[in-house]
Amino acid sequence: MFQSFDVTARPEQGPDRLEALRSELSRKEVDGFLVPRADAHQGEYVAPRDERLSWLTGFTGSAGFCAALHDIAGVFIDGRYRTQVKQQVADVYTPVSWPEVSLAAWLIEQLPNGGSVAYDPWLHPTKEIRELTARLAPKGILLTQTENLVDRVWTDQPAAPANPVFPHPLDYAGETAESKITRLAASLRAAGQSAAIVTLPDNLMWLLNLRGSDIARNPVAHGFAILHADARVDLFMDANKLAGITLPEPVSLHAPETFLEAVAALTGTVAVDETTLPQAVADACAATLEPAGDPCALPKARKNTAEIEGSAAAHLRDGAAVVETLAWLDAQPPGTITEIDVVKHLEDQRRQDNALRDISFETISGTGPNGAVIHYRVTEETNRTLAAGDLLVLDSGAQYLDGTTDITRTLAVGTPGDEERAAFTRVLQGMIAISRLRWPRGLAGRDIEAIGRVPLWSAGQDFNHGLGHGVGAYLSVHEGPQRLSRMSHVPLEPGMILSNEPGYYREGAFGIRIENLIVVTPAEALPTSDQGRDMLSWRTLTFVPIDRRLIDADSLCTAEKDWLNAYHAEVLEKILPQLSAGAAEWLKTACAPL
């Protein structure tokens, strides 16, 4: 199983580690080095060995990077982490608001007379390097490849993970690996492509109906694959991980160190995802690279019936575990329990399920000002007692054999204030608006995500994260390519599972987020529907009550009240039979109609 390492720099360690890296800049005679939060597979999640950004700076967010120069070191973070980064990095680092400030613009400002910036070609995708080069070259700034300079100074760097791989049963996968390979190979032939390169761990796991444990909280294994148009697959993975595994007949196993050699031997037109293909792999390939995307991405996102129904079943059991915790939480007087107590209780409840394999991410349990840190992770140092008048943001999920869950509820501790209730109600209205939405087939996340923000916008408020992310089927809790985001151009299609999670955050005071998982489904025709107009809608997967104490019912319209009352009635119907007697009584009160 996954072995835990604490590789995060404490603030007092940051200056020495930065100085060691700067010594390497001098040795290599370069002006800077780029440190992304990435590995050679270019997934969102990395193993402890690849937590270079955290080791160097102390920043633990799931996205960001550092550009370390001789006289300044910028830590680039998006809106989710503006508060968190201030708490985690030493003052030798300069937080940079990204993408508002691009890396290219920042480097041009910091190196006005030109210079050279080094990078590890395994840790940067080819599209990023191409675009960065195009911006920097006219200013005389050279990008140069090098070995990883952080690795040279990280003396106790953990080893690469080498954990066992296990099969994902057909009952849960819904399609054999042979069928997937045959289907995707046919799509390559139809597009005139000879092969495709697969680097993302979750795509590889989906294609071969395997799961692993190389990444904490994510059931994936590290490896690479080449999918050929004649329905062969070359898999590059440590054979020790696959002990006892019978691979499908079209799959040949090779040592990972032979991957670049195999890439170099490819001919014809090779499909790649240029947003995730490492520059080192692109450099090795003499064939024509076509930025057609990874052929696994969309088929994986379009869940089949077995995956959807498995996820639905997992959410019902998970909902019962969450409700048991909420009932317990409500019985604890303010001032008697802490954020960590809540995390432990919830995780204990989930462990009652034999299908549980892990939590799907580190549980977020943030009360008062900690709740305003969007991706807050409680520690012994930050742990707060739940005090009267506070709000608690509880964002958690689990990995079950039949599905992946992710749910957020914001809860009142004692009597909430009027400002908190007003903001919560606006967040709820946004969540309901998305849940009730019908839209024409062909629209992407960017086309509809604003609908979940309108109630907040009307009050001059907003939040600095996407409205929703894709979710895997016993895979990564963050899964592309679909998103409810103004940056997402991927059309939403039936079977795609996404989160619906508007929020609001008042730094230093409180946070609010409400999250359900929802799956795209064909919309039923209405008496008023246009003939032949294809519409889509949502099916809700998450069933846990929303805190009625935080709702200003007078601010809800009739349709919003009707949706909430119907949702709570369904929660009661689906979850009540699974509960203990005390939790069942609590749920009846929590689900009472407005």
Tell me the HSE value of 465 on the side-chain side, using a 13 A CA sphere. Answer: 24
| Tens-digit pLDDT string for the chain (594 aa) | 344 456 776 878 888 999 999 999 999 999 999 999 999 999 889 999 999 999 999 888 878 899 999 999 999 988 788 888 888 887 888 889 898 999 999 999 999 899 999 999 999 999 999 999 999 999 999 999 999 999 999 999 999 999 999 999 999 999 999 999 999 999 999 999 999 999 999 999 999 999 999 999 999 999 999 999 999 999 999 999 999 999 999 999 999 999 999 999 999 999 999 999 999 999 999 999 999 999 999 999 999 999 999 999 999 999 999 999 999 999 999 999 999 999 999 999 999 999 999 999 999 999 999 999 998 999 999 999 999 999 999 999 999 999 999 999 999 999 999 999 999 999 999 999 999 999 999 999 999 999 999 999 999 999 999 999 999 999 999 999 999 999 999 999 999 999 999 999 999 999 999 999 999 999 999 999 998 899 999 999 999 999 999 999 999 999 999 999 999 999 999 999 999 999 999 999 999 999
Q: What whole-number distance in Å separates Cα of residue 462 and Cα of residue 479? A: 24
pLDDT score at 346: 98
Are residues 181 and 107 both part of a single domain? no
Q: Is 8 within 8 Å of 158 (Cβ atoms)?
A: no
Q: What whole-number distance in Å separates Cα of residue 462 and Cα of residue 425? A: 13
Are residues 126 and 200 both part of a single domain? no
Q: What whole-number distance in Å separates Cα of residue 402 and Cα of residue 360? A: 13
DSSP 554: G
Q: Is 514 within 8 Å of 428 (Cβ atoms)?
A: yes
Amino acid at 201: P
Q: Is 409 within 8 Å of 544 (Cβ atoms)?
A: yes
Q: Euclidean distance between the first and final Cα of the chain, in Å?
A: 46
Q: Is 47 within 8 Å of 214 (Cβ atoms)?
A: yes
Q: Could you tell me which residues come within 8 angstroms of residue 77 by beta carbon, excluding any fewer than 6 positions away?
A: 59, 61, 63, 64, 84, 85, 95, 96, 97, 98
pLDDT score at 1: 38
C-alpha 192 chain-centroid distance: 33
Q: What whole-number distance in Å separates Cα of residue 490 and Cα of residue 125? A: 20
Are residues 317 and 422 both part of a single domain? yes
Residue 592 is assigned to a structural domain of this protein: no
Q: Is 213 within 8 Å of 163 (Cβ atoms)?
A: yes
Q: What whole-number distance in Å separates Cα of residue 29 and Cα of residue 200? A: 33
Are residues 122 and 183 both part of a single domain? no
Residue 3 is assigned to a structural domain of this protein: no
Q: CA Rg, the chain, in Å?
A: 24
Residue 531 is assigned to a structural domain of this protein: yes
Q: Is 379 within 8 Å of 367 (Cβ atoms)?
A: no
Residue 513 DSSP SS3: strand
Residue 591 is assigned to a structural domain of this protein: no
Q: What whole-number distance in Å separates Cα of residue 253 and Cα of residue 238? A: 9
Q: What whole-number distance in Å separates Cα of residue 44 and Cα of residue 247? A: 26
Are residues 555 and 410 both part of a single domain? yes
Other beta carbons within 10 Å of 540: 16
Are residues 371 and 461 both part of a single domain? yes
Residue 192 is assigned to a structural domain of this protein: yes
Domain with 75 in it: 11-153
C-alpha 496 chain-centroid distance: 15
Are residues 171 and 317 both part of a single domain? no
Are residues 378 and 506 both part of a single domain? yes
Are residues 102 and 145 both part of a single domain? yes
Are residues 485 and 457 both part of a single domain? yes
Residue 6 is assigned to a structural domain of this protein: no
- Of 130, 153, 176, the position where a domain reaches its end is 153
Q: What whole-number distance in Å separates Cα of residue 84 and Cα of residue 82? A: 6
Are residues 248 and 102 both part of a single domain? no
Q: Residue 36's domain is classified under what CATH number?
A: 3.40.350.10
Q: Could you tell me which residues come within 8 angstroms of residue 69 by beta carbon, excluding any fewer than 6 positions away?
A: 25, 31, 32, 110, 111
Count the domains in the chain: 3
Query: Can you give the length of the chain in residues?
Result: 594
- Of 246, 276, 299, the position where a domain reaches its end is 299
Q: Residue 503's domain is classified under what CATH number?
A: 3.90.230.10
pLDDT score at 5: 56
Other beta carbons within 10 Å of 113: 8
Q: What whole-number distance in Å separates Cα of residue 51 and Cα of residue 35? A: 10
Q: Is 442 within 8 Å of 412 (Cβ atoms)?
A: no
Residue 160 is assigned to a structural domain of this protein: no
pTM (2 decimals)? 0.94
What is the sign, positive or negative, of the torsion defined by CA atoms of 471, 476, 478, 482? negative
Are residues 110 and 80 both part of a single domain? yes
Residue 5 is assigned to a structural domain of this protein: no
Alpha helices per DSSP H over 76-125: 82-88, 103-110
- Of 299, 314, 349, the position where a domain reaches its end is 299
